[in-house]
Amino acid sequence: MALSDWLLGRRLATLEEEHQRVGVLAGIPMLGLDALASAAYGPEAALTLLIPLGIGGVHYIGPITWLIIALLLIVYFSYRQTIAAYPLGGGSYTVAKDNLGTAAGLLAAAALMLDYVLVVAVGVSAGIGALVSAEPRLQPYTLTLCLATLVLITIVNLRGVRESGMAFVIPTYLFVASLMGVLAIGIVKTAAAGGHPEPVVPPPVMPSAATAASLWLLMRAFASGCTAMTGVEAVSNGVSAFRDPAVHHARRTLTAIIAILAVLLAGIAFLCRAYGIGATEPGQPGYESILSQLVAAVIGKGVAYYITIGSILAVLALSANTGFADFPRLCRVIAQDGFLPSAFAHRGRRLVYSHGILVLAVLSGGLLVFFRGITDSLIPLFAVGAFLAFTLSQAGMVEHWRKVGGPHAVHSMAINGLGAACTGVTLAVVLVSKFTEGAWVTVLLIPALLLVFLGVRAHYRHVAHEVVTDAPLDAQHLEPPIALLPIRGWSAITRKALRFALKITPDVYALHIAGDERTVLDLEDTWAERVREPAQAAGVPAPRLIVIFDPFRQLYRSLMQVVSDLQRAHPGRDLAVIVPELVGTRWYHYLLHNQTAAVIKAYLLFSGLRRVVVINVPWYLAD
Amino acid sequence: MALSDWLLGRRLATLEEEHQRVGVLAGIPMLGLDALASAAYGPEAALTLLIPLGIGGVHYIGPITWLIIALLLIVYFSYRQTIAAYPLGGGSYTVAKDNLGTAAGLLAAAALMLDYVLVVAVGVSAGIGALVSAEPRLQPYTLTLCLATLVLITIVNLRGVRESGMAFVIPTYLFVASLMGVLAIGIVKTAAAGGHPEPVVPPPVMPSAATAASLWLLMRAFASGCTAMTGVEAVSNGVSAFRDPAVHHARRTLTAIIAILAVLLAGIAFLCRAYGIGATEPGQPGYESILSQLVAAVIGKGVAYYITIGSILAVLALSANTGFADFPRLCRVIAQDGFLPSAFAHRGRRLVYSHGILVLAVLSGGLLVFFRGITDSLIPLFAVGAFLAFTLSQAGMVEHWRKVGGPHAVHSMAINGLGAACTGVTLAVVLVSKFTEGAWVTVLLIPALLLVFLGVRAHYRHVAHEVVTDAPLDAQHLEPPIALLPIRGWSAITRKALRFALKITPDVYALHIAGDERTVLDLEDTWAERVREPAQAAGVPAPRLIVIFDPFRQLYRSLMQVVSDLQRAHPGRDLAVIVPELVGTRWYHYLLHNQTAAVIKAYLLFSGLRRVVVINVPWYLAD
C-alpha cells in the first residue's frame, strides 16, 4: 500500500542487527570519513585566526599543526587501548558511564549530542564553503545553499538510506587520492623551486599585518585548529563492525586513518607556507577556502581542480550524513536508559527512528541560520563538544584499568591518562580562548541538556510509581459504556459507526449540530425511518438522536456540554465517544481529512473531563 | 487546565462576530495601515532600479511618482464604487466570483493568497531594512533578524492576538505625523535654500552613472514603485466594520488614506530629488533605506530620527501582522466553498484556525530565506499578486453594473472599467518588465494554487459521492467485537483498560511482546492470579494472554501478525485494538508519552488491514 510506505517508510530491514563485518580497506571510509573530512576545515579554522597577522601569520601554521599532530598521536595510542578493552564498541557515553558513573556518562552524552549537531552543521557549511570557493557567484547564497543541502540530507535520511559501502568508499578514496596527489605535486614543485614555487593560480593577496603575534592569538588559532581531530573516536565506537579478529582490524584501521590525517595536515601546513596561502575573511565577498586556494596554486583551475573540490564537497556532505546515522543511535541508547523520551528508544519502523533525525535537522538548521552558514563561527562550539567527549572517554579508560588491574594496568593507565590530560588541557584552552566567540553557547547548552536528561528520568520514575499496582482485575459490575456519536448527517460512514456502537452497548446517542431548522426536521424524519424502525424491527434499543441548534455550528463546545450532561445522567458509566475517521489511499488525503477526529480526541482527552474513551471507527476510501 | 489552554489556546471569544464598528479616525489605522506602510518600500523599490543611472536617476523619480499617484486616484474612484455596491464587504475573491464566475474568483483567491504571503515577507524585510539602516552593524544579520521577527509574529498570532484598536492607532498616527513633519520641514528648508538645501547628515555619495536611462529601465522602475499601492483594497473588504452609515464612513476613510498616501509619496519624491537621495545596493554592506537617508538629511540623526525610524519599523511589523489576520480568513472562505481542506474552514477553537497561520509562516519564511531577507528581491512577486487582484476586482465590478443596470450603470461601469484597464495594463507591464527578476515565480505559483483548489474540490466531491447512501441501519446480527489489548506488564493502566474491554465484549485478548523468557513466566503467573481468578469468580469469560517471544521486541510487526490471525479466526467480527494513552498535566508530557498510541493507530489504519477499530482509553496522570 503506497500510503503506508510513504508515511512510515519501508522497513529498516535488520540494518541495525546485520553488521557488514568489514576489513581495513572498507573500514577506513566507513569509520574514517568523518575524521578525514576534518582536514578540510581544521587547518582553515586555525589560519582564519591568523588573518590579522597578514602574510607573517602563515609562518605560525607549521608549529600549530605539529602540536595538533602530536596531540593526535597521543589520542591515537589512547584509543588503541579503548578498542581492545571494548571490543563490542566503546562510545564515550558507554565508557564514561561504565567507569565514572551516570553523571559523567550523561555529561559525555550531552557533549556528543552537541558534537553530532555540529558534525552536520559544519559538514554542510564547509561543503558549501568549498562550492562557493569554486563558484564565487554563489557566495551571497551561502545560507540558502546550506539550508537546501540540510533539507535534502534530512529527506534522504527520513526516507531511509542504506549505508551502502560504495557511497562512502569512492568519495573517501577519491578525496584522499586527489588531495595526496596535489600535496605531492606541490612538494615536488616546492623542492624543485628551492622552496619558493610559482603558483599556477596565485592565491589572493594577503592584507598587511594588522597586529603582532601574541600567545593569546596563537592559543586561539590552536584551539580552532583542533577541530581537525574531530571524528577520530568513530573507530572505537564501531569495533563490532569489523571482521574477526575485530580488535586487530579496528586497530589497523585506526592507524591508517590517523596516518593519512597526519600526512594531510602536515602537507597542507607545509604548502600553505611555501605558497603563502592564508585564510580569507569568512562570509565576505571574495571568500575562498584554503584548500581551493591551495589546489588552484599547485595545479591550476583545470579539470583536476574541479574533481578535487568535488570530492571535498562529497566527503563533507557524507560526513554531515554520518551525524544523521549517529545522533538517533545515541538518542536511542540514552532513551533506553530512561533519560530521553521513549519515542527515541523504539525499534522497528522508521517512523519512530525519525524523531532523532528531525530533532537533529532542526537543531543544525538553527545553528546554520544563527551563524549564517559560516563554518568559522561554528568551530568554537564544535571544539568544545568534541574535546569534552574525548576527555571523558579517556578518563573513563583510566578508571577502567584501575578496576581491571593486572600486570599491564599501570602502563595502560599511563597512556590513557596522558590522553585524558592532554585532551583535558586542550579543552580548557578551547573553553578559555573561545569563550566569547561562541564556546559560551556550549556552557549553556550542555547543562541544559543534563537538566533535560534528569527531568525526563524523574518524570518516568514518577509515572512508573503512579501506575504500579498489585491490585487484581475488578470484574464486578461490568456495565457497557454509553456511546456518543457526533454525526454530520446520514451517510455510509454514520451507518457503519452506528452499527459498531450497537455492537458494544445498547445505550447509543447520536449528536448533530444543526445550523438551520430545516435540517433538524429532515434529519429527524430520516432518523425515524432509517434508524428507529430497523432497530425496533431487530429488537434492539433504538439509538437516540440529540440535535443542538447553533447557527455558528460550534461542534466542540456543544460536544463538551452533551458529554458532561450524559456523564451526569449516567454516573459510574464510561462514556465512549465514537469518531468516524476517513482513511485515504494517498498520503495527501491525510491533509484533507482526519483533522476533526484528531481535534475531537485532543479536546476530549485534554479538556479535564474524565471517564471518556475515544473510539476511532475507520472508513476506508476506495481507490 | 493549563495543558488545554497551552495546547489549544483560549477560546477566540466571538472575535469574528463582534465587530467593533468604527468611524473614520479609528478606521484609518485599522484598514489603512497596510496601504500607508507601502510608502516605506514603494518609492525605495523604484529608486533601487534607478541606481545604475547614478545621481541623474533621481530626476526620474518625480514623473514615476506622479504616474503612480494618478493610478492611485483611478483605483480610488473605482473602489469607492465597490464600497457602495458591497456594503457587507467586497473582497476581490467575492467580487470576482459573484460577477465573473468561479474560475475568476479562484484566480483572485490565488493572487490574494500570494499577496498576503508577501505582505508578511515584505513587511518583515522592510522593517528589518529600517532597523539595519539605523544600526548598520546589524546589517550582516539581516536574514536572522527577519526570521526571528517572523517567528515572534507567528507565536503571537498562534497564541491569539486581539485586534485591539490602540496597538494600531498609535504607531499609524505616529508614523504619519513624524513622516509628514519631516517632509514639511524638508520642503520649507528646500524652499528657503532656493531648491538646494544643505543636508544635516549627507546621504551616501551616489556612484556615477553606469548606463543611460531607457524606457525599459523606467518601466521597470515604475513597475517596482507600484508596490506603493498595495493594501488600498482593505477598506472595501471591511465596509461592515464601520458605524452606520457604513458606506459613508468607509468612503471617507478611503479618501483620507489615499490622500495621506499620495502626499507621502509626492513628498518623498520631491525631497529625494532636492537632497539628491538615491537608493543604496540592497543586501550589501553600506545599505541604508531611502527613508533613513531622507530623515537623516532633513533633521539629522537625533532623537526625532530614532522616533521616526521606530514608527516605520512598528508600522511595517504591524502590516506583516495584518497578513496573519487576513490570510486565515481568506483560507476559511475558500475552504467553505470546498476548494481548500476543511481544516481551514472550522470555526471555534484556535487550534484549527492556526493551520492558516502556520502555512503562512512557512511560506513567508521560505520566501525570506530564498531572497535572503532583501525587500527588493520580493517586490516583483508582490506587484504581480496585488495588481492581479486589483484587476479582477475592478473587472468584476464592471460586470456587476452591467447586471444591475439602471440609470447610473453606464457611468459606474466607465469608472470601474477605467480602473480595470489601468490596473490590467500595469499588471502587464509588471509581468513583462519583472519576469526574469522574480515575476516568473508567480506565473508558476498561481496556476499551481488553482490546481490545488480544483483538486481539493474534486476529492471532496468524490468522497461525498462515495459515502452518500439511503440504506437504513443494519441492526441484525450485532456480535460484540474481539478486543485486543497490547500490554507492557501488569499496571494500573493495564487494569483499567482490561476492565473497559470486558465492558464491551466477552472476547478479550491481551498481547505481550517479551524480550526474555523469565518475563514470560512471571507474566503468566501474574495473569493467572490477577486476571483469570477474579474473572472466573465474577462469572465473566477470562481474558486470554498471548505472549510473543521476540528478543528485539518489535511491537508493530507482532501486533500486525496477531491482528490478522484473530481476524482469520473470527470472520465477520470487528476487531477492536485497545490502546491505553497517558494524558499528562503539562504540555511537555505530551513529548514524553502518547507516541506509542499514535503510532499504533497510524500503523493499524494505514496498514491495509480492514475491520480494525482503535479504542483509546486515557490514563490521567495525577498532578
Cα atoms in the Cβ-side hemisphere of radius 13 Å centred on B7: 21
Pairing of strands B575-583, B482-486: parallel
Report the percent of chain A where pLDDT is more than 70: 91
State yes or no: pLDDT of A8 exceeds 80. Answer: no
The pLDDT of residue A166:
66
Residue A505 CA from chain centroid, whole number = 48
The pLDDT of residue A349:
47
Q: Which amino acid is at A357?
A: I
The pLDDT of residue A24:
86
B595–A503: do the CB atoms touch at under 8 Å? no
The pLDDT of residue A577:
92
Question: What distance in Å separates residue A359's CA from the closest CA in chain B?
Answer: 12
Confidence label for B4 from pLDDT (cuts 50, 70 and 90):
very low
B4–A606: do the CB atoms touch at under 8 Å? yes
Looking up residue A169, the CATH number of its domain turns out to be: 1.20.1740.10
Within this chain, do residues A450 and A493 fall inside the same structural domain, yes or no? no
pLDDT by residue (tens digit) across A110-163? 998 998 999 999 999 989 988 888 888 888 888 888 988 898 888 777 766 555
Residue B487's domain comprises: 482-620
DSSP characters for B383-405? HHHHHHHHHHHHHHHHHHHHHH-
CA atoms of B16 and B568, how far apart (whole Å): 53
Size of interface A-B (CB pairs under 8 A): 267
State yes or no: pLDDT of B332 exceeds 80. Answer: yes
The pLDDT of residue A6:
43
Question: What distance in Å separates residue A320's CA from the closest CA in chain B?
Answer: 21
The pLDDT of residue B383:
87
Confidence label for A18 from pLDDT (cuts 50, 70 and 90):
very low
State yes or no: pLDDT of B133 exceeds 90. Answer: no
pLDDT by residue (tens digit) across B570-597? 988 999 999 888 877 666 666 666 666 7
Residue A300, helix vs strand vs coil: coil
- Chain B partners within 8 Å of A472 (Cβ): 495, 529-531, 533-534
Confidence label for B352 from pLDDT (cuts 50, 70 and 90):
very low
Q: Give B 135-194 residues with CB within 8 A of chain A.
A: 140-141, 143-144, 147
The pLDDT of residue A165:
58
The pLDDT of residue A620:
80
Counted domains in chain B: 2
CB B501 within 8 A of CB B485: yes
pLDDT by residue (tens digit) across B218-241? 888 998 898 898 888 888 887 877
**For testing the chain A interface, which of B467, B532, B612 should be mutated: the one with the most A CBs within 10 Å?**
B467
Q: Give B 457-516 residues with CB within 8 A of chain A.
A: 459-460, 463, 466-476, 478-481, 490-493, 495, 498-500, 502-505
Give chain A's length.
623
State yes or no: pLDDT of A348 exceeds 60. Answer: no
Place of cell 454530520: A488
* For range B433-441, the mean pLDDT: 84
B592–A342: do the CB atoms touch at under 8 Å? yes
Q: Give A 34-73 residues with CB within 8 A of chain B.
A: none
Residue B465 within any structural domain of the chain: no
B5 vs A410, more confident: A410
B616–A613: do the CB atoms touch at under 8 Å? yes
Q: Give the range among B220-224, B525-529, B603-607 with minimum mean pLDDT.
A: B603-607
B591–A341: do the CB atoms touch at under 8 Å? yes
The pLDDT of residue B495:
92
B583–A602: do the CB atoms touch at under 8 Å? no
Residue B217 within any structural domain of the chain: yes
* For range A235-244, the mean pLDDT: 82
DSSP H/E element including B582: strand B575-583
Within this chain, do residues A249 and A283 fall inside the same structural domain, yes or no? yes
Within this chain, do residues A382 and A271 fall inside the same structural domain, yes or no? yes
* For range B252-259, the mean pLDDT: 94
State yes or no: pLDDT of B16 exceeds 60. Answer: no
State yes or no: pLDDT of B198 exceeds 90. Answer: no
Within this chain, do residues A385 and A509 fall inside the same structural domain, yes or no? no
Cell of B603: 500503523
Q: Give B 567-586 residues with CB within 8 A of chain A.
A: 574, 576, 581-583
Confidence label for B139 from pLDDT (cuts 50, 70 and 90):
confident
B622–A466: do the CB atoms touch at under 8 Å? yes
pLDDT by residue (tens digit) across B262-285? 999 999 999 999 998 988 888 788
B369: contact with A, CB 8 A cutoff: yes
CA atoms of A101 and A109, how far apart (whole Å): 12
State yes or no: pLDDT of A177 exceeds 90. Answer: yes
The pLDDT of residue A15:
37
- Chain A partners within 8 Å of B475 (Cβ): 499, 502, 534-535, 537-538, 540
Of the residues A413, A443, A458, the one at which a domain ends? A458
* For range B599-613, the mean pLDDT: 75
A592–B341: do the CB atoms touch at under 8 Å? yes
- Chain B partners within 8 Å of A599 (Cβ): 346, 349, 351-352
A618: contact with B, CB 8 A cutoff: yes
Strand partners, B575: B482, B612
Who contacts A421 (Cβ-Cβ below 8 Å, separation ≥6)?
A: none
**For testing the chain A interface, which of B606, B620, B621 should be mutated: the one with the most A CBs within 10 Å?**
B606
A583–B599: do the CB atoms touch at under 8 Å? no
* For range A522-527, the mean pLDDT: 90
pLDDT by residue (tens digit) across A298-340? 998 889 999 999 999 989 988 888 788 788 878 888 888 889 8
pLDDT by residue (tens digit) across A59-69? 899 999 999 99
Within this chain, do residues A169 and A233 fall inside the same structural domain, yes or no? yes
Within this chain, do residues B537 and B424 fall inside the same structural domain, yes or no? no
The pLDDT of residue B20:
56
B589, closest residue in chain A (CA to CA)? A459
A605–B144: do the CB atoms touch at under 8 Å? no
B501-505: which pairs have CB atoms within 8 A and are 24 or more residues apart? B501/B543, B501/B576, B501/B578, B502/A475, B502/A478, B502/B535, B502/B540, B502/B543, B503/A478, B503/A479, B503/A480, B503/A481, B503/A574, B504/A480, B504/A481, B504/A504, B504/A505, B504/A576, B504/B480, B504/B576, B505/A504, B505/B480, B505/B481, B505/B576
- Chain A partners within 8 Å of B528 (Cβ): none
The pLDDT of residue A265:
94
Q: Give the range among A476-480, A585-589, B523-527 with minimum mean pLDDT.
A: A585-589
Nearest 10 degrees: CA dihedral of B22, B26, B31, B32?
150
ipTM > 0.90 (yes/no): no
- Chain A partners within 8 Å of B534 (Cβ): 472-475
Of the residues B460, B494, B524, the one at which a domain ends? B460
Residue B260 within any structural domain of the chain: yes
Residue B473 within any structural domain of the chain: no
Report the percent of chain B where pLDDT is more than 70: 91
Confidence label for B15 from pLDDT (cuts 50, 70 and 90):
very low
B614–A612: do the CB atoms touch at under 8 Å? no
The pLDDT of residue B349:
46
The pLDDT of residue B436:
84
A472–B531: do the CB atoms touch at under 8 Å? yes
Confidence label for B17 from pLDDT (cuts 50, 70 and 90):
very low
B473–A556: do the CB atoms touch at under 8 Å? no
- Chain A partners within 8 Å of B143 (Cβ): 143, 369, 372
Looking up residue A487, the CATH number of its domain turns out to be: 3.40.50
State yes or no: pLDDT of A352 exceeds 50. Answer: no
The pLDDT of residue B293:
93
In this complex, the residue of A473, A534, A535 whose CB is nearest that of residue B534 is A473
B588 vs B321, more confident: B321
State yes or no: pLDDT of B364 exceeds 90. Answer: yes
Within this chain, do residues B217 and B262 fall inside the same structural domain, yes or no? yes
Residue B162, helix vs strand vs coil: coil
State yes or no: pLDDT of A4 exceeds 50. Answer: no
- Chain A partners within 8 Å of B500 (Cβ): 481, 574, 613
Question: What distance in Å separates residue B17's CA from the closest CA in chain A?
Answer: 10
The pLDDT of residue A19:
46
Within this chain, do residues B265 and B319 fall inside the same structural domain, yes or no? yes
Q: Give the range among A458-467, A474-483, B349-358, B535-544 with minimum mean pLDDT.
A: B349-358
Residue A8 within any structural domain of the chain: no
Q: What is the DSSP letter of A164?
A: -
Residue A232 within any structural domain of the chain: yes
* For range B162-174, the mean pLDDT: 74
Question: What distance in Å separates residue A377's CA from the closest CA in chain B?
Answer: 13
Within this chain, do residues B495 and B435 fall inside the same structural domain, yes or no? no
Within this chain, do residues A438 and A544 fall inside the same structural domain, yes or no? no
Within this chain, do residues A411 and A547 fall inside the same structural domain, yes or no? no
The pLDDT of residue A621:
79
Who contacts B106 (Cβ-Cβ below 8 Å, separation ≥6)?
A: B97, B334, B339, B450, B453, B454
* For range B447-451, the mean pLDDT: 92
State yes or no: pLDDT of A496 exceeds 50. Answer: yes
Within this chain, do residues A406 and A508 fall inside the same structural domain, yes or no? no
A503–B480: do the CB atoms touch at under 8 Å? yes
A4–B615: do the CB atoms touch at under 8 Å? no
- Chain B partners within 8 Å of A498 (Cβ): 473
- Chain A partners within 8 Å of B535 (Cβ): 473, 475
A367, closest residue in chain B (CA to CA)? B144
Residue A22 within any structural domain of the chain: no
Of the residues A425, A458, A491, the one at which a domain ends? A458
CB A508 within 8 A of CB A483: yes
pLDDT by residue (tens digit) across B455-508? 999 988 988 888 888 899 998 888 999 999 998 889 998 999 999 999 999 999
Residue B122 within any structural domain of the chain: yes
pLDDT by residue (tens digit) across A244-254? 888 899 999 99
